[in-house]
Amino acid sequence: MPNEDDNGEENKGNSKGRIDELITFNRYVLFLCFTYELVIIAQVGNLASMIFICASPDIIGCGETIFPNNISRQEACKLYESVLLPANNDSCKAMTNYQFRSVNVEWALFCDKEHGVKNTISYQMLGVMIGALIFGQLSDLFGRKTVGLCCIVGTIVTGSMSALAHNLFSFTLLRFTVGIFVGGNSTVMYVYVIENVPTNARFAVKTLVTWSPNFIILSLIAYLSGEWRTLLLAMNLLASPSLICFLFLYESPYWLLDKGRTNEAQNVLKKTSIWGITTKRYENSEELLEACIQQEQQRRNAKSKRYYFYHLFSSWKLFQYNLIISFSCFSVGAISYGLMFNLEKISGSLYINAAILGLFRYALNMLIAVADHFFKCIGRKVIHTFALLGIIISITFILFVNYFDIVFEYKLEVRAFTLLAVGMTATVFLVNGITNAELFPTAIRNIASAHALTWGRIGGIVAPQIFYLSTFHSSMPYAIIISMALLDVLLFDAFLPETKHGALSSETPGGGIPSSCCSLSRKCIANDENPAVNNL
């Protein structure tokens, strides 16, 4: 695939003649971000809500027998299933204590039966992975807006339908379907927003419009609803205005140009420009607009070579990058979802814990963004190592108290370290995404990103299964988490280069290094979004 650096002299003369220069931060972009926030509410309301929907109750007694307050959840279940049920011919009705009326409570699925509920999360995450693959391809064929709208409609409809499920089988089937649509809208909407937001505002949008602050909304709605059916209906109702917002959005001009629909792309750019303060900014600049669109169309038509999945492994270097990034995404996915979907097992209010988690993740990402901007010495590897060491230290403490069966004595510390570990995973997700984009060449960057995200979702599928190991010993899941995090740190730090101070790579897989890079004394990774770098 020819790249922009191969035409360095042309770029010098036409650095302003790009579609990027016509997309400005105006009221249309703000409206798009508002719509995206509503879509994220649908995502959080149908995925993260499983924190509450699948929360296991505490068994506090059976019949006339009340258990001691200082026994663990595992001990209570063992006492209930192994002693009291057989002694009462399986007719002893369990007494439960819960903060939220989950499916476990409504259908009496606790102790050994709760594994079936946790499996629902695995099936849902499998749906997310399938949906991302299917709808990502469909959006390339039929458009970002069209497919994105179909996905959000599917998410809201199936999410609301799952609130009407009458047994675990129908609930699991509907959650799998919801996962497919959530996977689709998360993938398609991310690309759609990035393609309609100015280059210099993309990082801000990615940092501010995200899942983390919506955990607070989720916690509030869960607290007010008190039970899982109302929670699902309320969250999907809250996201439903996004359907109206879509009526006022336009198709991505990049996608239109890729399909050769130049006139439509021109009309979209005109219409989006009148949302700004400088009304009809480009209405009287037909010549400039035509030139920019023609140049962009020519640049895209010049893509004579196609790249496929196997190009990710076309060299030992790319194979190594893929192996390490994929493992990092898998491990952090397993750690994050495994801990997050077991928040009901730590002390304190489930609602407050979820809200604190969202606030901490948001504040930490903002802090990391500031540190990354102002301190050159803080690179991707430093942040990645810092976050994973925080996870390792936190989980090591939890492992220790579980191994010596002193969780009750240190329940506040376990709560704090669990929230800290889950919060740190958000930073690892962010660093992995940025590093992945900076490591791989332009020609296969999207393929590499999809590959890494797939492994992250596989981690989400495996996550509930890791915590089943607690049936052998309560400390075993944490030993697995520590092992994965340690291996992640070692591989990432030892075998990946620091990418912060490099530009985006345009070196083609299996090809030579662009001529504009050969003159640089350091290893160059050319930036396809920065004219200053392109003109070196």
Q: Please give the pLDDT value at position 520.
A: 32
Rounded to an integer, what distance in angstroms lies between the CA atom of residue 122 and that of residue 243? 28
Rounded to an integer, what distance in angstroms lies between the CA atom of residue 482 and that of residue 477? 9
- Residue holding tokens 């936190």? 394
Rounded to an integer, what distance in angstroms lies between the CA atom of residue 114 and that of residue 360? 29
Give me the average pLDDT of each 10-residue run along the chain (536 residues).
38 48 82 95 95 90 80 80 65 83 91 87 93 85 91 96 95 96 89 82 78 93 96 97 94 82 82 65 56 59 64 84 93 93 88 94 85 81 93 96 89 94 91 81 71 88 89 91 96 87 55 36 35 32
Identify the bridge partners of residue 66 per DSSP, sorted by sequence position.
Answer: 61
**The domain defined by 309-501 carries CATH number 2.60.40.10:** no
Rounded to an integer, what distance in angstroms lies between the CA atom of residue 518 and that of residue 109? 64
Q: At what angle do helices 445-466 and 316-340 cross, to 10 degrees?
A: 40
Rounded to an integer, what distance in angstroms lies between the CA atom of residue 18 and that of residue 1? 19
Q: Please give the pLDDT value at position 270.
A: 80
Strands (E), 415-481: none
- Are the CB atoms for 328 and 432 separated by under 8 Å? yes
Count the Cβ atoms, other than its own, within 10 Å of residue 114. Answer: 18
Q: Please give the pLDDT value at position 517.
A: 33
With CA atoms as reference, report the closest residue to 205 among 374, 89, 32. 32
- β-pairing, 58-62 vs 94-97, is antiparallel
Collect all residues with Cβ–Cβ distance below 8 Å to 237 and sequence separation of at least 6: 160
Q: Please give the pLDDT value at position 202.
A: 73
Q: Please give the pLDDT value at position 125.
A: 92
With CA atoms as reference, report the closest residue to 410 among 51, 181, 148, 70. 70
DSSP assignments along 206-269, one per residue: HHHSSSTTHHHHHHHHHHHH-BHHHHHHHHHHHHTHHHHHHTT----HHHHHHTT-HHHHHHHH
Domain residue ranges in the chain: 58-97, 309-501
